[in-house]
Amino acid sequence: MSEESFSTITSEAPHFFLQPFINITSNDYYIISCYVQSETPIDIMFKTFNTLIVNDFKYNISSITLSENKYIFILKINIFPDEIDKEINFFAQNQYGVAEASFILKFSGNHIPIKSRNELLGFTEALKVVKFEVPIKTQVTPNVSWSGEIQFNGESSNHDIKLKTEKINNDMYLSSMTITNVNRSTDKINYSCSITNVSNKSIKTIVFVTAPKKDIPKIIKKGNFQEYIKNRLKMNIYFLYISKTFPSIRWFKETGEEIKRNDDIVITNVEEQNDLYNGKLSINVSALHDQKKFYCLIKNNSGEMLTDFCLCI
């Protein structure tokens, strides 16, 4: 959903020979096209609020020259989880004046936070300390709340509970609940975590206890390379890791969508030698569709870990 407006100042100033256009047919990105005519050289820029837009993982600016004085300036906006409503402004300026266009993009309510694991990882040390971690993939700071109880045999409880949510990189947060003084093997911990985004959309998950964290899979090397197989160029993303018990792996796109095997995608997880495994995702380059980042969830009997891969193509 969008709204747009545009204006110019003088007849010699740049002007729009066609109305600026927003393509909103894709669920993955929006495209803004500005059709500008100017008899003299021009400078252009896209802005959101007070921030200049440049080419990065979120935005891509390009141009097409139609004739000596007619141009199309294009802004591609990749849609990420938890996008908030925003105003995009376009300016084309020459020595005589400026042409302006404004676009109001509506995102709220379209996305919910993505929890990058299917389960919460809990770990314990001799039932003294229990910690639950929830990794959350979201573009804006989420509201996280915990609820539940500890059932125990005894007249009183001295359990100490600490809650924490922290940003660990550009679009990942880690929420945790740590419970100390869990001294009784009969204690039953029953908690849930609710995650809410700016659109008031929520996801909820239940915590539980698994084996100690020290035995979860450990990555020792990772990377990517290209190769031709049967005249098709493939991108191979791989990692070597150690696991004390037989592991499973699952691959995800940056949006959180799980990657499944098909004619263009091969997923393997092979034991090279005792406790050393090689996980690999092989994709036909023609099927990448501008995907530059991937996640792999590795799980064994002791727990799970998440690792990411950035491609330079």
Report domain extents, the chain.
15-104, 129-210, 218-310
Q: What is the pLDDT of residue 2?
A: 45
CA distances 68 to 4, 36, 38, 40, 46, Å, are: 27, 11, 9, 10, 22
Q: What is the pLDDT of residue 82?
A: 53
Q: Tell me which residue has tokens 């592991």.
A: 247
- What is the Cα–Cα distance from 46 to 41, expressed in whole angstroms? 17
Q: What is the pLDDT of residue 36?
A: 92
Q: Are strands 202-206 and 188-196 parallel, antiparallel or unpaired?
A: antiparallel
Q: Tell me which residue has tokens 């002791």.
A: 302
Q: What is the pLDDT of residue 238?
A: 93
* 3-state helix vs strand vs coil in the chain, percent to 5: 0, 60, 40
Rounded to two decimals, what is the model's pTM? 0.37
Common-topology check for domains 129-210 and 218-310: yes
CA distances 312 to 59, 164, 237, 256, Å, are: 17, 34, 12, 20
Strand partners, 72: 35, 64
DSSP sequence for 258-299? BP--BTTEEEEEEEEETTEEEEEEEEEGGG-TT--EEEEEEE
The neighbour count for residue 225, using CB atoms within 10 Å, is 9
What strands, in cross-sheet order, belong to the sheet with 2-7?
2-7, 97-105, 86-94, 43-48, 51-52
End-to-end CA distance of the chain: 32
Find, among 88, 108, 160, the residue nearest to 130 by Cα: 160
Domain 15-104: give its CATH superfamily.
Answer: Immunoglobulins (2.60.40.10)
Find, among 94, 56, 93, the residue nearest to 75 by Cα: 56
Report how far Cα 108 is from the mean position of its chain's Cα atoms: 17
- What is the Cα–Cα distance from 108 to 96, expressed in whole angstroms? 39
Query: In which residue ranges of the chain is pLDDT below 50?
Result: 1-9, 108-127, 155, 184-186, 208-212
Residues 6+ apart with CB under 8 A from 154: 184
The CATH number corresponding to 218-310 among 3.40.50.2300, 3.30.1490.100, 2.60.40.10, 3.30.70.260 equals: 2.60.40.10
Q: What is the pLDDT of residue 80?
A: 66
Helices and strands (DSSP H and E) totals, the chain: 0, 24
Fold (topology level) of 129-210: Immunoglobulin-like (2.60.40)
